[in-house]
Amino acid sequence: MEASCPKSETSRTVWTLLLGSWLIALLVTRMLLKEAGIFGISAAHSALWVKTVIALLPLVPSVLVVWTFVQDIRKADEFERRLHLEALAIAFPVTVILLMTLGLLQLVIELNPNDWSYRHIWPYVMMTWLFGYVQARHRYGLK
Amino acid sequence: MKNRLRVLRAEREWSQEELSNRLSVSRQTINALENGKYDPSLPLAFRISRVFDAKIEEIFFPDE
C-alpha cells in the first residue's frame, strides 16, 4: 500500500521569494542590456559572452521555481496532485495555442517583440496555470 | 460515490484538520471527500477505513 504523503508544501514565503527573485532578475537583465543601464552600470557594449551570460540570468531563479514546484507535487497528496494535473491540462495546451496564434499572426503582422514574443512564455504559463487551478478548485467545490 | 465521512468524523468530534492529520492529507482533500466531489484512491480508502475502524463498504456507497 502507498505510503502516506506528508503535508509539507513549500511555504508561501519561499514561493514569494522565488517568484520575486525571478522578476528582479528579469528586470535587472533587461536594464543591464540597455544603453541606460542600472545604477550607472550597462552591459550594452560589453563582449558578446558577457551579454549572453546576463541575458540568461533569469534562468537561475526559473530553474529553482521548477525544482520547487516538482518537490511540492511529489509531497502533495493525491487530491492536490489531481488539482495540479487539471490545472496543467489547461495551462499547457492553452499556452501552446496562444504561442501558435502569435506565430501565425507574425506571418501577416509585425508584432512588437517587447509586447509579444517567446520571452513571455513563462508569464503565459503562470497565468493559464492559475486559471486552470482556480477552475479545478471550483470543480471540486473548493473556494 | 457517497460516503459517511462527515458523520463518522462528527461522531468522534474530530475537526477536518484533525482528520486530515490522521490521514496525512490536506484539509481541502477532506473537504472534497466529505462533499462527495472526490473519490479516494484504494490506498486512501483503506487508510480511512483503518482510521475509523470500519469496513470500506460501511463508509463508501455507490450512487445508486
Q: What percent of chain A has pLDDT over 70?
A: 94
Chain A residue numbers with beta carbons less than 8 Å from the beta carbon of B37 are: 139-141
Helix or strand or coil: residue A41? Answer: strand
- Per-residue pLDDT, averaged over A51-59, amounts to 90
**pTM, entire model:** 0.77
* Predicted pLDDT at A2: 39
Neighbours of A80 (CB within 10 A): 20
Q: What is the mean pLDDT of chain A?
A: 84
pLDDT of A9 above 70:
no
Left (φ > 0), alpha (ψ -120 to 50) or beta: where does A80 sit? alpha
Is the separation of the CB atoms in A34 and A41 below 8 Å? no
pLDDT of A51 above 60:
yes
* Predicted pLDDT at A3: 39
pLDDT greater at residue A50 or residue B30: B30
DSSP structure class, residue B3: E
CB contact under 8 A, B29 and A79: yes
DSSP structure class, residue A38: B
Helix axes A48-55, A12-32, angle to 10 degrees: 150
The C-alpha of A65 sits at a distance from chain B's nearest C-alpha, in angstroms, of 22
Range of lowest pLDDT (A24-33, A89-98, B39-48)? A24-33
Q: What share of chain B is helix, strand, coil (3-state, %, to 5)?
A: 60, 5, 35
Half-sphere exposure of A81 (CA within 13 A, CB side): 13
Query: How far is CA A16 from each of CA A127, A131, B29, B50, rounded to the nearest angstrom?
Result: 16, 19, 24, 38
Range of lowest pLDDT (A32-41, A131-140, B44-53)? A32-41
Half-sphere exposure of A143 (CA within 13 A, CB side): 0
Q: What is the pLDDT of residues B7-57, one digit of tens each?
A: 999 999 999 999 999 999 999 999 999 999 999 999 999 999 999 999 999
CB contact under 8 A, B40 and A78: yes
CB contact under 8 A, A142 and B32: yes
Backbone angles phi, psi at A43, to 5 degrees: -110, 15
- ipTM of the complex as predicted: 0.89
CB contact under 8 A, A4 and B23: yes
User: Could you tell me the three cell numbers for B62?
Assistant: 455507490
CA–CA distance, B53 with A6 (Å, rounded to integer):
22
One-letter amino acid for residue B47 of the chain: R
* Predicted pLDDT at A85: 95
